[in-house]
Amino acid sequence: MSDAKTAPTDVAPEEFIAAVQPDAKQEDARRLDEIFRRVTGEAPRMWGPSIIGYGSYSTKYASGRDVTWMRAGFSPRKAKHSLYLMGGYCDEQAGKRRDEQLARLGKHSRGKSCLYINKLADVDLSVLEDIIAEDWAVMNRLYPD
């Protein structure tokens, strides 16, 4: 298996979160960690220098490259929190439900498999938790251990 550019590290996620600035971004990161831990039942692990991931799965890209990646995660970036949620990207039906959920979420933007949130006060946390939970279920169905 070839090495991914972003791989698990031995850095403690709690130490990383404690260093996040400003304080409001750090508090959001603590809250996101609580939500991800509760929904996934997994302890976090750092992936690279700035991504907090929960669980992992292995897959093969169309190019034939084997990779291992987190099932879900987030990074408290300077501008916006990046949430890595692959389930809505990997499953068409889940993607359609995701669109309905995002309409109720609040202020956000998104990429292919990322959800970007400036601050948690901008979104409905119960909708966010539902999105994370559904995504986690999809990933577990698509990539069972």
Rounded distance, CA 71 to CA 140, Å?
Answer: 8
For residue 1, tell me if it sits in a domain: no
Tokens 């991800």 belong to: 36
Task: Express each pLDDT in 38-96 by its tens digit.
Answer: 999 999 999 999 999 999 998 887 888 888 889 999 999 989 999 998 777 777 777 77
Please count the structural domains in the chain.
Answer: 1
Q: What is the CATH number of the domain that holds 33?
A: 3.90.1150.200
Q: How far is CA 95 from CA 42, 132, 138, in A?
A: 23, 13, 10
pTM, entire model: 0.90
In sequence order, what are the beta bridge partners of 44?
54
Which residues span the domain enclosing 39?
13-142
Query: Among 71, 45, 80, 61, which residue's Cα sits nearest to residue 142?
Result: 71
For residue 3, tell me if it sits in a domain: no
For residue 95, tell me if it sits in a domain: yes
Residue 118's pLDDT is 96
Q: What is the mean pLDDT of residues 96-101?
A: 86
